[in-house]
Structure 1
Amino acid sequence: MKIDINTLKKIAHLARLEFDENSAKKMTRDMTQILDWVEHLEQVDTEGVAPITTMSSEVNVLREDAVGSHLSHEKGLKNAPQKDSDYFRVPKVLE
């Protein structure tokens, strides 16, 4: 499939891209090559080939949630730079 300058201008407008004259010529050649490659791929027989969802065969290894020990309220506030009875004090971020 051949991409002409008018088609490139429409695509560039939709993608909010700008090309000078030399870049536009190179881009039309590149896009034509890409579309020719896609047309070539359409000829490949994919009957019986399962679709893939990822290119990686790695699997996440997750651990089970387990209840553990936690800091008491007093220990949590012990080293706080500023505290107010039961809470951390932080600088005001909103007016």
Structure 2
Amino acid sequence: MKKITKEEVKKVAHLARLELNEHEINNHAEQLEKILEYIKQLEKIDTDNVPCTTRAIEVTNVFRKDENKNSNCIEELLELGPSREDKYYKVPKIIND
């Protein structure tokens, strides 16, 4: 397997808009080599009879019935906002006349 060069790390860092010092470039090159070596090991595993999946454990949604509930906490909720006017939140004007 070919070695990851400093120039390749610099190019990827540039594309990702990262500023790396010389130590970080060397460190990333070593880490990328280890990752690619691990992927090379994984490629040797026979997965022909393994079904595709999106997660290791099957997850199902738990639904509940929608119910209307009357709530008397309007005042409490309005008090949480930074500013209010009557029973509404007051926000800065963003549209010019």
- TM-score for both structures, normalised by structure 2: 0.67
Structure 1 residue 65, shift from structure 2 partner: 3.7
Question: Percent identical across equivalent pairs?
Answer: 30
CA–CA separation in structure 2 for the residues paired with 1:18 and 1:12: 7
What is the Cα-based RMSD across aligned positions, in Å?
3.0
Aligned twin of 2:93: 94
Aligned twin of 2:36: 35
CA–CA separation in structure 2 for the residues paired with 1:17 and 1:44: 34
CA–CA separation in structure 2 for the residues paired with 1:54 and 1:60: 14
Say whether 1:18 aligns with 2:22: no
Aligned twin of 2:81: none
Structure 1 pair 90–20 and aligned structure 2 pair: CA distance change class (3 A): closer
- TM-score for both structures, normalised by structure 1: 0.68
* Stretches of 4+ aligned residues off by more than 3 angstroms: 68-71, 80-83
Q: What residue ranges of structure 2 are gaps of 5+ in the alignment? A: 79-83
Q: What residue ranges of structure 1 are gaps of 5+ in the alignment? A: none
Structure 1 residue 93, shift from structure 2 partner: 2.9
Aligned twin of 1:61: 62
Which structure: larger Rg? 1
Aligned residue-pair number:
87
CA–CA separation in structure 1 for the residues paired with 2:88 and 2:9: 58
CA–CA separation in structure 1 for the residues paired with 2:10 and 2:35: 17
